[in-house]
Amino acid sequence: MANRAGTSHVGSCLSCADILAVLYGEIMRYKPQDPDWEGRDRFILSKGHAGSALYATLAEVGFFPVGELDNYDQPGSRLLGHASHKVPGVEVSTGSLGHGLSIGCGMAIANPKSKVFVLLGDGDLNEGSTWEAIMFAGQRKLHNLIAIVDWNKLQAMGESAKILDMKVLPRKAAEFRWTAMDVDGHDHNLLRLALKDATEQGKGPCIIVAHTIKGKGVSWMEGDVRWHYSYPNDGELDRALTEIRKCY
């Protein structure tokens, strides 16, 4: 999709692909044939620049035909470069960081019988509105709110630790009345266990810090901030797909 459209953020998509696979494959309640089903769990991609990973996931589970992915970020397509609510299964348009968790708080209050999952990136944690939402959710004891941080340690301008170090996140979240846990964000078994624990504990909001690698699965993309912006040319695409197929 990134190669065809000539768009960026492929590294960000690869870092969260395993999280999306476990959420939509084993954890969340939804009906692809009825995207607005009242009993569904809600998912918000706060790091909306990884929209192509979400679109691919939604297509694979049946919200729309897989063939439509060929139109990603093309003129006239509803599959915009950042996550768009025009696409079946996308709850809210995102892309400007710092909005997702606040919206998730509202959804958790409005839908107390459903689980609300919010996937954030490193850059989201730099935004004041995210921390306001963390304080608010803890105060309101939003038992059905689960935040997942795709912590790939990189963001738009470089290494997250050098821009605004957030290694205190688990401790600070716990101080704000959240249940906090760390997990390997590429290990499906560990992700499954953490997400099930988060959905069953019911003791207030939960935050899962998923340690991931930007560009996961492609050796020359892994840990390289350039793939926040770049897209693979035809030769790089073939090499990347060959490596990914060997991994999975």
Domain boundaries, the chain: 2-247
Q: What phi and psi, each to the nearest 5 degrees, are found at residue 25?
A: -85, -30
The confidence score (pLDDT) of residue 200 equals 85
**How many Å is the maximal CA-CA distance in the chain?**
52
Q: Quick one: average pLDDT of 11-34?
A: 97
Question: In this model, does residue 10 exceed pLDDT 90?
Answer: yes
Mean pLDDT throughout 22-28?
97
For the full predicted model, state whether its pTM sits above 0.85: yes
Q: Among 116, 171, 177, which Cα is nearest to 145's?
A: 116
- pLDDT of res. 83: 97
| pLDDT tens string 136-155 | 999 999 999 999 999 999 88
The Cα 121–Cα 169 span in angstroms is 12
Confidence class for position 202, pLDDT limits 50, 70, 90: low
Which CATH superfamily does the domain covering 2-247 fall into?
Answer: Thiamin diphosphate (ThDP)-binding fold, Pyr/PP domains (3.40.50.970)
- Of the candidates 25, 23, 196, 55, the one whose C-alpha atom is nearest the C-alpha of residue 119 is 23
Strands 179-184 and 206-211: parallel
Mean pLDDT value across residues 1-30: 96
**Is residue 43 over pLDDT 90?**
yes
What is the rounded average pLDDT for all residues in the chain? 95
Strand runs labelled E in the chain: 42-45, 116-121, 145-151, 154-155, 158-159, 179-184, 206-211
Split at pLDDT 50, 70, 90, the class of 61 is very high
Our measurement of the distance from residue 104's CA atom to the centroid of its chain's CA atoms, rounded to an integer in Å, reads 13
Task: State the pLDDT at residue 247.
Answer: 78
